[in-house]
Amino acid sequence: MVKKNYKYMLRYTVQPGHHVEEHLDELVEFCRQAKIDDVMFFINGEQLNQGHLTLEETKPWLDVIARGKRLLDDISVTTSINPWPTLLHDDKGRTFRNGVKFRWMVDAYGHSSRSVACPMCPDWRKYITEMYAYYASVKPYILWVEDDFRHFNHGAELVWGGCFCDAHMEEFSRRAGKKLTRQEFIEGILKKGEPHPYRRIWLETARDEMIENARLIGEAVHKVSPETKIGLMSSGPAVHCAEGRSWEGVLKGLAGDTPMVNRPHLDAYVEVTAQEYLWRFNVISRVTRTFTPLETEIYPELENCADLRYTKSHKLMGLQLDTSLVLDAKGITLNIFDMMGNGVIMKEGLQNVLADRKDFLESIRGLGLSVDKQKGVKVPVDPEASFRLHTKHGRNMEELYPREYFWGGLLSSYGIPTVYTTEKNTGTAS
């Protein structure tokens, strides 16, 4: 009998007050047929997102999840929770809610959000730890931190992102030992040639505060539910590099004494060909895996819920399942149904694809393969490249994105096996 060592983790929305019993019954049946191992219940997700909810507004969501957990326990399926907002992905017309008002994120050019929190805001830190402690009261298997836990990419209102609010500018000035204007600081960060000292101040400040935020969330959760794992959802490694991310620092801060858990994404978020998917897999998913500690539990994301027929095709779905094994994944998160709470769609036949593939995935995973055993042309990459790279124009924050991942994509597209390495090397990063 094949040991169960590859988990299917279904992301699923049940909206309180909207056909709850029906959608929970559908969920149980889908889990049976698709061999699902874990259900990640959304709270306040995507199109239903109302911004930063209060504890009282969150209670109906947790009540529904608790009901679902009892049903899933009966079929030996674990229950996880996927709250949507941490800092919040973007405004989309939202403003602060009654009783929830933070210092808002400000971008490099002085534009302020109306609902995305500053990651250094003490009121937000108090709020997010209270919320995660409340989520933990259901005793989930994994409690996820969404990929809005970042400085960049918080919607059209913010150009690139931040945070460069007045409080952050005071902290940057303190570290610089002089009073800084926002324009002066940004010009220093982006200065052409040898990196200006302001670059390091920006990256280290962002790094330090996100490690601290992770630690605060982790401690709050484990005080309530010591066994619950906390999973980090991450975005592209180049943009995380430009905010100084310490992968180990954030993951360990969340994990505490539990295993570190990360969800890199498989980049079929839009209608892409298999060739495009494989390129992105090599320059995003594999690089993210390289930057996370080897012992991290990896559950990449298969997402086709918002896409058309090609990305939803059974063949492309199978390709994503198979390539996840290259990351030494212990399973996969499945975002395959809409986030509006409309339930499962059996007629798509996705349950059959998942069930038919499970034994194969289990068998390959059971061989004991590991990313540290992979061989090929070594492609040097550096999670701290943004500290050292030289900007070309000095005009926008995207110039802090490293570009060395390109070589892994190029060589792999020629059929040349590659492995990424973080071994230190001399020379200027680019």
- pLDDT surpassing 90 at residue 5: no
At 301, is the pLDDT very low, low, confident or very high (cuts 50, 70, 90)?
A: very high
| % the chain with pLDDT above 90 | 86
- pLDDT surpassing 60 at residue 429: no
- pLDDT surpassing 50 at residue 264: yes
Please state which CATH class domain 7-155+204-373 belongs to.
alpha beta
User: Are residues 77 and 10 in contact, defined by beta-carbon separation less than 8 angstroms?
Assistant: no
CA–CA gap between residue 249 and residue 214 (Å, rounded): 8
* Mean pLDDT of the region 57-80: 98
At 3, is the pLDDT very low, low, confident or very high (cuts 50, 70, 90)?
A: low
The whole-number pLDDT of residue 4 equals 67
- pLDDT surpassing 50 at residue 428: no
Between these two residues, 349 and 308, which has the higher pLDDT value? 349
* Mean pLDDT of the region 330-353: 94
User: Are residues 263 and 232 in contact, defined by beta-carbon separation less than 8 angstroms?
Assistant: yes
Token duo for residue 207: 């790094």
The whole-number pLDDT of residue 427 equals 41
Give 219-230 pLDDT, tens digit per residue.
999 999 999 999
At 328, is the pLDDT very low, low, confident or very high (cuts 50, 70, 90)?
A: very high
For residue 380, give the H/E element and its range.
Answer: strand 377-380
**Where are any strands of DSSP class E within 76-210?**
78-83, 104-106, 112-117, 142-145
- pLDDT surpassing 80 at residue 262: yes
CB within 8 Å of 325: residues ≥ 6 apart: 361, 364, 365, 369
The whole-number pLDDT of residue 54 equals 93
Token duo for residue 216: 């605060």
Token duo for residue 4: 């169960």
* Mean pLDDT of the region 255-268: 95
**Among 43-47, 100-104, 200-204, which stretch is predicted with the lowest mean pLDDT?**
100-104
- pLDDT surpassing 60 at residue 2: no
Q: At what angle do helices 197-224 and 182-190 cross, to 10 degrees?
A: 100
Between these two residues, 63 and 430, which has the higher pLDDT value? 63
CA–CA gap between residue 184 and residue 188 (Å, rounded): 6
Q: What are phi and psi of 177, to 5 degrees?
A: 75, 20
- pLDDT surpassing 70 at residue 17: yes
CB within 8 Å of 46: residues ≥ 6 apart: 84, 339, 340
- pLDDT surpassing 60 at residue 430: no
CA–CA gap between residue 137 and residue 63 (Å, rounded): 11
**DSSP designation for 282:** I
Average predicted confidence (pLDDT) for the chain: 93
Give 355-395 pLDDT, tens digit per residue.
999 999 999 999 988 999 999 999 999 999 999 999 999 99
The whole-number pLDDT of residue 312 equals 79
- pLDDT surpassing 60 at residue 407: yes
CB within 8 Å of 252: residues ≥ 6 apart: 214, 260
- pLDDT surpassing 70 at residue 426: no
Q: What are phi and psi of 257, to 5 degrees?
A: -95, 5
pTM (2 decimals)? 0.95
The whole-number pLDDT of residue 94 equals 78
The whole-number pLDDT of residue 333 equals 98
Give 142-159 pLDDT, tens digit per residue.
999 999 999 999 988 898
